[in-house]
Amino acid sequence: MNIAIAGGTGFVGKHVTKALIDRGDTVYILTRSPQEYKSNHQVSYIGWLHDDFHPEQHLPKLDAIINLAGDSLFGYWTKTKKDRIYQSRINATYAIIDFIRKLPEKPEVLINASAVGYFGTSDTKTFTEQSEEQGNDFLAEVTEAWERTALQARSYGVRTVVARLGVVLGDEGALPLMAMPFRLFAGGKIGSGKQWVSWIHIKDVVGLLLYAIDHKHVDRTLNLTAPSPVQNKELAQVLAKALKRPNWFPTPSFLLRTVLGEMSILVVDGQKVLPEKAMESGYRFHHDTIDHALAEIYN
């Protein structure tokens, strides 16, 4: 297959690219700085998001497009930072839609990243792809606009999947930050510890993205979370065990809200999200429990 990836040089993108190469696909990474990378027979770096770049003129017929582009959520959420989070996702997705419009032959599928933040936060509710309730915080606002933009690809006859990512566990991303207090012998639960963490191992992020490409029955929303979300207090216990560190230093919620500001929603609050479509469609998870996932990462 010929597959284009926006955001292909990031944490998730690098793993997806490797998996596609390993199975024999040809990958075209859309980037603002193609001159910084060296192409080869399986990976080509194609310029985009600049008036001088016309990616549609340099590509063969594509089978799929994966859009993972977007500014990191980490960092104090000033107005400027929130604007970057919002605009980077919406602008990149609009650019993907315009790119599809210009292609003489349309791809079969667009896989567009989203996040479980769409559902808002709750300690009591369980969310699946069937859940229609949307949150009312900043992340929910961003993801709703992100998904609405991506679904415009359907007007060009392109099957569109919005992949709602949970907390991705791997050697980059959120986990090193979560692990740091434990490594410093100061780890513990956050706040009450009752908030849900809907996590997923990076191998299953890759597995589900490729599954969505290959299976035409996967359409519209797809939750990219493990089938066994955990509360923060359980995550703290398992993380401490995996790192061989104590789990004794709880962090008060009010302290994190004071220090991190609005970004504290990422660690102080959460949501219980189940991958109903993946489970019902027969996808087999590489890591379906938090113990197994963290043991694999830290071993």
- What is the total residue count of the chain? 299
Is the pLDDT score of 226 beyond 90?
yes
**How confident is the model over 216-227, as a mean pLDDT?**
97
CATH topology of domain 2-298: Rossmann fold (3.40.50)
**Mean pLDDT, range 180-193, rounded to an integer:** 93
Average pLDDT over residues 57-70: 95
Confidence of residue 267 (pLDDT cuts 50, 70, 90): confident
Q: How far apart are CA 95 and CA 70, in angstroms?
A: 12
36 class by beta-carbon count within 10 Å (0-12 exposed, 13-18 middle, 19+ buried)? exposed
Nearby residues of 55 by Cβ (< 8 Å), 6 or more positions away: 4, 28, 30, 46, 47, 48, 99
**91-110 tens-digit pLDDT:** 999 999 999 999 999 999 99
Asked whether residue 116 carries a pLDDT value surpassing 90, the answer given is yes
The two tokens of residue 298 are 């830290």
Please give the helix or strand (H or E) that residue 162 lies within, else none. strand 159-165
The one-letter amino acid code at 256 reads L
Going from N- to C-terminal start, the domains of the chain cover 2-298
> Would you place residue 299 in the very low, low, confident or very high pLDDT band (cuts 50, 70, 90)?
confident
Q: Give the torsion through C-alpha atoms of 293, 171, 143, 254, to 10 deg.
A: 90
Answer yes or no: is pLDDT of 137 > 90: yes
H helix count then E strand count, the chain: 10, 13
**Which position has the token pair 């991190």?**
260
Q: What is the mean pLDDT of the chain?
A: 95
Q: What is the pTM of this model?
A: 0.95
DSSP for residue 196: E
49 pLDDT above the threshold of 90: no
Residue with token string 């809200």:
257
Q: pLDDT at position 186, please?
A: 92
- Secondary structure class of 31 (helix, strand, coil): strand
Check whether 254 has a pLDDT greater than 90: no
End-to-end CA separation in angstroms for the chain: 34
